[in-house]
Chains A and B, each alone.
Chain A
């Protein structure tokens, strides 16, 4: 199931949906759409239920800061640091350097790269 959200309402939407004993947080994902646009995804699966995956997505650009989910889901820090490295996005509290060094390509997974 794919649910659209926006960056300003992300924390409210995920906060209303997520319950740690029911939902397993899979990851954060980014997909470059070209022309400076990016699709961000937050993906969950349900414990003990077959084939139930919920994907929240929001359309954004490279410059708009992305809210962090770590207050709700501490383990989201890994995926958030990854999109900082790979797409050069600004995510609250997530620093560059999970995979890439300072002199590496600034955003290898952007379409223009």
Chain B
């Protein structure tokens, strides 16, 4: 029997954006076993939603679960409550909500790509992508009035309208970003640090993706055709140019490319939204108190975000269950580590784009 050693990674590590601890069991440099501790930033959000806040406030509480996909959290919760109250938003509200969700996807994917570049030692590209990402952050701030915690979506609508000046800003910044994405895609495809080094590394096979219920870009990079945007009918994604992006090799390179292509697709969706924005109110009266149980799924940047809300006809909810994409993806991630080199672990982890704030909630 070969001698094995245990090497920890985290909870605080230079390659980690948020606290997570892995314990790798290694034979020389090869990882043969892994254990993960994910609960460092647990804040008891589900409990707070049912004990400390009324249902009209909870949308602003759940947005604080995550700083990257705050808009997806508040949308999922709001949609669940609206369904319980029998309210269906008009098309203008739906389009504005989709616009913010897709902008969120763009900047979140760009953060992941920047982090992947940084893990390859490509610091200059990290700075470049983070600079380009500001184009989207600027648009989101102009639309919502906030830079990170947007508080844009509320029960019965959205909190600010899209003026013609804002439409111009969206078009201008997304055009600039499209040009930059062509350069970025070329770099990720042809630069040695980002292509050859990452091809064949951190592979999740299609069969393992099914077995471990992978989701989001992690699943699509392995060829598993799943995307909540194609599996729910709450928003008219197909009519606005949505296309599912699939790769087949399941390695870091494939995950990068799924994200790159999804950014390009999300830019197209955002353009179609502002070009075809329907007329209508942005805020409508919704009366009543939620009673019953409703499930809502939304495709967050990292995959499927799941909310189950149960109300009893009072201002206080009985249950708010939040299942985030990284939480579901942990078993698949742990499987990918097995057989990989320890030196590749930070890059593999960055390619998962884990969000521990979401996971521990």
- With A and B bound together, what is the CA distance between A49 and B231 in angstroms? 5
Q: Which of A31, A47, A48, A100 contacts B42 (CB 8 A)?
A: A100
Interface flags for A27-38 (1: CB within 8 Å of B; 0: not) read 101011000000
**B233 near A74: Cβ-Cβ < 8 Å:** no
- Could you tell me which residues of chain B, from 13 to 52, have a CB within 8 Å of some CB in chain A? 38-39, 42, 44, 46-47
Residues of B within 8 A of A99 (CB): 39, 42, 360
Q: What are the nearest 10 A-B pairs in CB distance?
A: A99-B39, A99-B42, A75-B331, A27-B323, A75-B213, A20-B210, A31-B319, A29-B321, A25-B213, A75-B212
Q: Which of B46, B230, B306 contacts A27 (CB 8 A)?
A: B306
- With A and B bound together, what is the CA distance between A74 and B331 in angstroms? 8
Residues of B within 8 A of A50 (CB): 230-233
**B319 near A45: Cβ-Cβ < 8 Å:** no
Query: B318 at interface (Cβ–Cβ under 8 A)?
Result: yes
Q: Which of B230, B304, B318, B331 contacts A78 (CB 8 A)?
A: B331
Q: Which of A21, A25, A29, A45 contacts B308 (CB 8 A)?
A: A29
B interface residues with partner A (beta carbon < 8 Å): 38-39, 42, 44, 46-47, 210-213, 215, 224-226, 230-233, 295, 297, 304, 306, 308, 310, 318-319, 321, 323, 327-328, 330-332, 360
**A21 near B331: Cβ-Cβ < 8 Å:** no
**B211 near A31: Cβ-Cβ < 8 Å:** no
Residues of B within 8 A of A77 (CB): 331
Residues of A within 8 A of B331 (CB): 74-75, 77-78
- Could you tell me which residues of chain A, from 39 to 62, have a CB within 8 Å of some CB in chain B? 41, 43, 45-53, 55
Residue among A31, A75, A108 with the most chain B CB within 10 A? A75
**A74 near B211: Cβ-Cβ < 8 Å:** yes
30 examples of A-B residue contacts, CB within 8 angstroms? A20-B210, A20-B211, A24-B215, A24-B304, A25-B213, A26-B297, A27-B321, A27-B323, A27-B328, A29-B308, A31-B310, A31-B318, A32-B319, A43-B308, A46-B231, A47-B225, A48-B226, A50-B231, A50-B233, A51-B231, A73-B213, A74-B211, A75-B212, A79-B323, A86-B46, A98-B38, A98-B39, A99-B42, A100-B39, A100-B42
Query: A97 at interface (Cβ–Cβ under 8 A)?
Result: yes
**A43 near B295: Cβ-Cβ < 8 Å:** yes
Query: Which residue of chain A has its CB nearest to the CB of B214?
Result: A75
Query: A109 at interface (Cβ–Cβ under 8 A)?
Result: yes
Q: Report the tally of A-B residue pairs with Cβ distances under 8 A.
A: 81
Residues of A within 8 A of B297 (CB): 26, 45, 53
- With A and B bound together, what is the CA distance between A79 and B322 in angstroms? 11
**B323 near A47: Cβ-Cβ < 8 Å:** no
Beyond the given A43-B306, A48-B230, please list 16 additional residue pairs across the A-B interface where CB-CB is below 8 A.
Answer: A20-B210, A27-B306, A27-B328, A29-B323, A31-B310, A43-B295, A47-B224, A47-B231, A48-B225, A51-B231, A52-B231, A53-B295, A73-B213, A75-B332, A78-B327, A98-B39
Residue among A21, A24, A25, A77 with the most chain B CB within 10 A? A24
- With A and B bound together, what is the CA distance between A73 and B330 in angstroms? 14
**B295 near A55: Cβ-Cβ < 8 Å:** yes
Q: Which of A25, A45, A73 contacts B231 (CB 8 A)?
A: A45
Residues of A within 8 A of B308 (CB): 29, 41, 43
Q: How far is the CB of B216 from chain A (nearest CB, A)?
A: 11
- With A and B bound together, what is the CA distance between A25 and B274 in angstroms? 36
- Could you tell me which residues of chain A, from 75 to 113, have a CB within 8 Å of some CB in chain B? 75, 77-79, 86, 97-100, 108-109
Query: Which residue of chain B has its CB nearest to the CB of A97?
Result: B39
Residues of A within 8 A of B231 (CB): 45-52
**B310 near A78: Cβ-Cβ < 8 Å:** no
Query: Which residue of chain B has its CB nearest to the CB of A53?
Result: B295
Residues of A within 8 A of B224 (CB): 47
- With A and B bound together, what is the CA distance between A47 and B47 in angstroms? 31
Q: How far is the CB of B55 from chain A (nearest CB, A)?
A: 16
Q: How far is the CB of A77 from chain B (nearest CB, A)?
A: 7
Residues of B within 8 A of A109 (CB): 46-47
Residues of B within 8 A of A25 (CB): 213
